[in-house]
Structure 1
Amino acid sequence: MNSLAYALLSMLVRKPCSGYELKHLLEVFWQAKHSQIYPLLTKLQQDSLLTYELVEQSGKPNKKIYSITDKGLAVLQEWISCKSALPVIRDEFLIKVYAIWLVDTQSAKRMFEERISLFRKQVNYRLNEIRGMEEEHRNGIPDISSRSFGRYILFQRKLRQEQEEIEWCEWVLALLEENQDSRLEEVKRNT
């Protein structure tokens, strides 16, 4: 079993889902493609860790709604109590930032402005989702025994990361602007 398999079981312990729904739910902490998810769902089903119900749809392909089995729940509970591996970070943008000195200041600024725009959209989405979760509970925050608690605290974490990313990008933009202004002053002095 790999981490993605456990992630799928973790999603299914909350509620039965289709493969499409699972991909959407996973985005808070895992970027997985359909080509990774569906074969893994088949394997988990073959290993009796989950089961599915075929839902016939008119005008659309039929879909499978997956549910965790008792065996899957036991495997998941055992895994949760084990020590976690170190986090893996893969972000193409950060690789580009490492070599940013190879592009002109305007291109660098555009990279960061696009990143800010993307993350502002994600912050708005996350705030709406959090608001919806809070409206479902009396005091606004799901109780620790609620199936929503883990999702709630993960969305809060992701929101903070996205807000911090925006702040960092704005800081870098200010550095780039300052650098550009310094270069202009130097050009003026030399002419």
Structure 2
Amino acid sequence: MIAINTLGYAILSVIGRKPCTGYELVNYLDPIWPAKHSQIYPLLTKLEDKGLLVHEFVEQMGRPNKKIFSITEKGKEALENWMVKTPSDPVNRDEFLIKVYSSWVADEEKSIKLIHDRMAKLEESVTRLSGKIKKIEETQELETNSKNFGRYLLFHRKFRLAQEEKAWCQWVLNLLKNKKINIPLLSMTFAGKLLQYGIGTEGRFLCFILG
């Protein structure tokens, strides 16, 4: 297999679905593997040097000329060979999570604002993704082998994750407003006895034998 990093395969996937310019790639990559122009342009050159992409030079009157990149058969083969391999474990880096983890240093009002701000961004994402999903459903064919099927799946995934995180944010707000955490008892059976576990005062671990 030709040595390509994950961003390279993301580029092949996007261009394989629809030929585009390097500038357009930034928006197209956002749902799957966000990247900056400074990362994309050098990689486009490398992929073209490997014979995985080709470009068409388009002259424009009154506007800068542009290169439109298309995938080659060699590029499709490389993408297919890579696609069937087991993916690496995901890496989740989100500054918001660090702030939540550090919320013990801030007062309740600031923590609540942090969660409200996140919910506002999530609501924007839900609205935007809902529009994209509706557009695909109204104008595109959704056969499982169509080039738009993968986009449809990813938009739905991001939409559902945003909704789930909104629910989590609301749960956090409820905890902050109640100013305490009620931890439910965990039950199990051992040697015919029903046991319940919980957290007592001062964080002590408790075990109750009920029968």
**What is the TM-score with the length of structure 2 in the denominator?**
0.80
Counterpart in the other structure of 1:98: 101
Letter in 2 for 1:27: D
> Is 2:51–2:72's contact at 8 Å kept on the other side of the alignment?
yes
Mark the runs of 5 or more structure 2 residues left unpaired by the alignment: 181-211
The equivalent of 1:148 in structure 2 is 148
**Aligned letter for 1:148?**
N
TM-fit CA distance, 1:137: 4.3
Does 23-32 or 118-127 show the bigger shift?
23-32
Two-structure CA RMSD over aligned residues (Å): 1.5
1:49 aligns with 2:52: yes
Structure (1/2) with the larger helix percentage: 1
Any runs of at least 4 consecutive aligned residues in structure 1 with deviations exceeding 4 A, and if so which? none
After TM superposition, the score normalised by the length of structure 1 is: 0.88
How far the C-alpha of 1:125 sits from its partner, in A, is: 0.7
SS in 2 for 1:20: helix
State the partner residue of 1:165. 165
More strand by share: 2
Please give the secondary structure, in 1, of the residue aligned with 2:166. Answer: helix
- After superposition, where does 1:41-190 map in structure 2 within 5 Å? 41-137=44-140, 142-179=142-179
Once the two structures are TM-superposed, the CA of residue 131 in structure 1 deviates from its matched residue by 0.3
Share of identical aligned residues, percent? 49
What is the count of residue pairs matched by the alignment? Answer: 177
CA distance in 2, matches of 1:83, 1:106: 44
Greater RCO, 1 or 2 (C-alpha within 8 Å, sep 6+)? 1
Aligned match of 1:185? none
Aligned partners of 1:16 and 1:48: how far apart in 2? 15
Determine helix, strand or coil for the equivalent of 1:54: strand
User: Displacement, 1:61?
Assistant: 2.4
Letter in 1 for 2:174: A
**8 Å Cα contact 2:140-2:148 kept in structure 1:** no
How far apart are residue 104 of structure 1 and its match? 1.2
Q: Which amino acid aligns with 1:175?
A: L
1:9 & 1:36 partners in 2: Cα distance?
Answer: 14
Q: Quick check: 55-64 or 158-167, which moved more?
A: 55-64
